[in-house]
Structure 1
Amino acid sequence: MSETSLALGVLGGMGPAATLDFLTKLQAFTPAKTDQDHLRVLVDINPKVPDRNVAGASAGPVLAEMAGALAGAGADVLAIACNTAHAYADLIQRASGLPLIDMIETAANSARDMGARRVGVLGTRGALRLYREYLAAQAMGLVALEPAQQEAFMATLYKVKSGDLGPAVRAEMKAYVADLMAGGAEAVIAGCTEVPLVLGAGDLKVDFIDPGELLARRCVAVCLGLEPLPAALGA
């Protein structure tokens, strides 16, 4: 790794297992022969961030404080290991003064490059709002679960967060994918970082997009200078 490589700051803990999955991918995608070839990564795994899915629980101030602390500790660029928390992306960038490698944007661009016109998203309501906006900006439509199924998905999601990665949960997640495909989805985005813990490309008959994997690859490229640094907010 170059002496001039950038230090990555990661806002995590939402949830902890998903953050560890992201860090594993980050390490795997880094071209390294020695310890010193790896990236410097500053991580705040903070499971005390208010639940992004509970009305009235504002995660923004906590995320802003985390981002500022990561900047103060030496981070050059930020990543958020949570789809829904990207709702606070502007606040996080203003608080830290650092550019953000946007996971939602990265996943939407991947769907576009695959040629998809209708994209299914498994995510929280907050994540669905973000993906709808990003996909629409590139002339793609979002396919979401019906309201009752969305509620069931959230129950499955919290099972994963509790550590249940068993066959029943995996079967539930595959059933939600089938619902999205029945609704016309030509590709499916794992719009919550817990989804890839129980679902993989081999479980789908359409393209599967793992935003955490794509974010990890892009973080490596940016920090090693293989891809331009994202523009800072207001730049």
Structure 2
Amino acid sequence: MTKTLPPKVLGVLGGMGPAATLDFLAKLQAATPVAREQDHLRVLVDINPKVPDRNAGDDAAGPVLAAMAVGLREAGAQVLAIACNTAHAYAEQVKASGLPLVDLIETAGLAAQAHGAARVGVLGTGGALALYRRTFSRQAIEAVTLDDHEQVEFMALLYRIKHGDLGPASRETMAALAHRLVGKGAQVVVAGCTEVPLVMGAADLSVPFIDATEALARRCVAVCLAD
């Protein structure tokens, strides 16, 4: 008789920012099929808002993320996830821990492919957009992005959200930026920053909306439950 293996322990590198990590954890819980409390995954989380700004143009975040990954491994994690798109620039340093990483950028691309989309709008930081362009090129997807002045507007909005501004003005501005991507021919729009879903959802768009945070949660569940 084949013995079923227990679910893998998930380690989450978070805190970038804290609200986005909590959003990911809520979606992870919602995505887990359970009949009882004990069926949920064991999740080890390092919520570390002291990680240097990933948009600062230096590599200061890399060693901190690498140390977080090692700490999670030593605590018992068997699989890793990063609740931040831009931090995936340091994916190789995280994977140096020896643990597999469920890649958020790749996961969003797979979700876009599932929609049959060839032109995908991405709302993300400059660093995240570079990662999306590289990954999408391998997936035969064209990334549709904001103009330079619109990107400046997005970054200003992003930092307001990180500071806790989740009100109507932030929601309206994010939706307006997403609609500009649709106007440029985006067939779907990806929340390529984990703060985006805090102020926008599928109801705000006329095309499919891919919440990369939610897609990552679903994939983490699948990976951890796979024998």
What do you get for the CA RMSD once the two structures are aligned? 1.1
The Cα offsets for residues 59-87 of structure 1, whole Å up to 9 and x where unpaired, read as 00000000000000000000000000011
Please tell me whether the aligned partners of residues 201 and 208 of structure 1 are also in contact (alpha carbons under 8 angstroms): yes
CA distance in 1, matches of 2:164, 2:106: 28
Residue 16 of structure 2 is aligned to residue 22 of structure 1: no
What stretches of structure 2 of length at least 5 have no aligned partner?
A: none
Distance 1:139 1:5 in 2: 33
Q: CA deviation at 1:8?
A: 0.2
Distance 1:73 1:35 in 2: 22
Partner of 1:44: 46
Secondary structure of 1:130's match?
A: helix
CA positional deviation for 1:57: 5.2
- Letter aligned with residue 16 of structure 2: M
SS at the partner of 2:73? helix
State the match for 1:202 in structure 2: 203
Give the deviation of 1:3 after TM superposition.
Answer: 6.3
Q: Post-superposition shift, 1:41?
A: 0.3
The 5 A counterparts of 1:206-217 are: 206-217=207-218
> Equivalent residue for 2:103?
102
Question: Aligned partners of 1:3 and 1:143: how far apart in 2?
Answer: 42
What is the number of residues matched between the two proteins? 224
Letter in 2 for 1:89: A
Aligned equivalent of 1:82, options 80, 84, 95: 84
Q: Distance in 1 between matches of 2:181 and 2:133?
A: 15
Q: CA deviation at 1:212?
A: 0.7
Alpha-carbon deviations, 1:39-67, whole Å to 9, x = none?
A: 10000000000000112252000000000
Matched with 1:33 is 35
* Structure 2 residue aligned with 1:126: 127
2:74 pairs, out of 50, 72, 75, with 72
Does the 8 Å contact 1:10/1:44 carry over to 2? yes
Task: Say whether residues 1:180 and 2:181 are aligned partners.
Answer: yes
Deviation at 1:35, TM superposition (A): 2.2
* Preserved CA contact (<8 Å) 1:187 1:209: yes
Which residue of the partner structure matches residue 231 of structure 1?
none
User: Percent of pairs identical after alignment?
Assistant: 64
Runs (4+) off by over 3 Å: none
User: Once the 2 structures are TM-superposed, how far is the Cα of residue 138 of structure 1 from its aligned partner?
Assistant: 1.7
Question: Structure 2 length normalisation: TM-score?
Answer: 0.96
